[in-house]
């Protein structure tokens, strides 16, 4: 009886939560803040992309990372493909190193997210240096701390749709 009931229960499709989380992340990404606070803004789109890639690998993969990266480039008026390339490289590396692990604990996800955020910021920093763009080095690394500290909030808001 219990097995028949479990078979009849179909897992919820995460399509609506994925779309809503990307919309909310895009609003948080471009919401106007003061100059001093804007430097501390977490990398919301990066964290949303990373959550879905790690927690819903059958729904979100490299193409999802590419699409959210292009969307981020358009929202931030960044060079087209800069965030997309970073998101795709991070997605590939994360999926490569976690393909053997089927059970990822919260601590594992937090550590993976912290390393991915650091890698993303390093890639953006390196591309800006190679492009000859002048920018504040201290302001570039400020989102690292706030993004790492915001990851548990994002995880606990979206954990219902984790497989």
Which pLDDT tens digit goes with each residue over 49-98? 999 999 999 999 999 999 999 999 999 999 999 999 999 999 999 999 88
Most confident by average pLDDT, 1-15, 17-31, 121-135: 17-31
Closest CA to 51 of 10, 85, 86, 87: 87
Distance CA 161, CA 11 (A): 9
**11 pLDDT above the threshold of 70:** no
**b (16+ CB within 10 A) / e for 60-69:** bbeebbbebb
**2 pLDDT above the threshold of 80:** no
Check residue 60 and give its pLDDT.
94
Closest CA to 80 of 145, 127, 116: 127
Closest CA to 54 of 93, 15, 23, 27: 93
Distance CA 30, CA 151 (A): 19
Distance CA 42, CA 57 (A): 23
Check residue 7 and give its pLDDT.
53
- Give the chain's mean pLDDT: 89
Helices (H), the chain: 2-8, 15-30, 35-38, 44-55, 62-76, 82-98, 106-131, 137-158
Check residue 68 and give its pLDDT.
98
Check residue 9 and give its pLDDT.
61
Distance CA 28, CA 45 (A): 9
**34 pLDDT above the threshold of 60:** yes
* Confidence at 16, pLDDT banded by 50, 70, 90: very high
Check residue 5 and give its pLDDT.
52
pTM of the model: 0.88
């Amino acid at each position: 009886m219990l097995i028949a009931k479990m078979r009849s229960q179909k897992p919820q499709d995460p399509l609506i939560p994925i779309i809503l989380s990307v919309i909310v992340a895009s609003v948080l990404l471009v919401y106007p803040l003061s100059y001093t606070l804007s430097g501390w803004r977490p990398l919301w789109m990066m964290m949303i992309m990373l959550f879905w890639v790690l927690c819903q690998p059958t729904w979100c993969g490299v193409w999802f990372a590419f699409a959210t990266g292009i969307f981020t480039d358009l929202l931030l008026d960044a060079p087209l493909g800069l965030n997309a390339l970073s998101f795709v490289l991070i997605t590939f590396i994360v999926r490569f190193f976690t393909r053997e692990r089927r059970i990822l604990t919260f601590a594992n996800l937090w550590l993976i997210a912290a390393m991915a955020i650091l890698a993303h910021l390093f890639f953006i920093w390196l591309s800006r240096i190679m492009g000859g763009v002048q920018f504040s080095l201290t302001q570039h690394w400020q989102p690292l701390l706030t993004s790492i500290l915001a990851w548990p909030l994002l995880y606990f808001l979206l954990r219902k749709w984790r497989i």
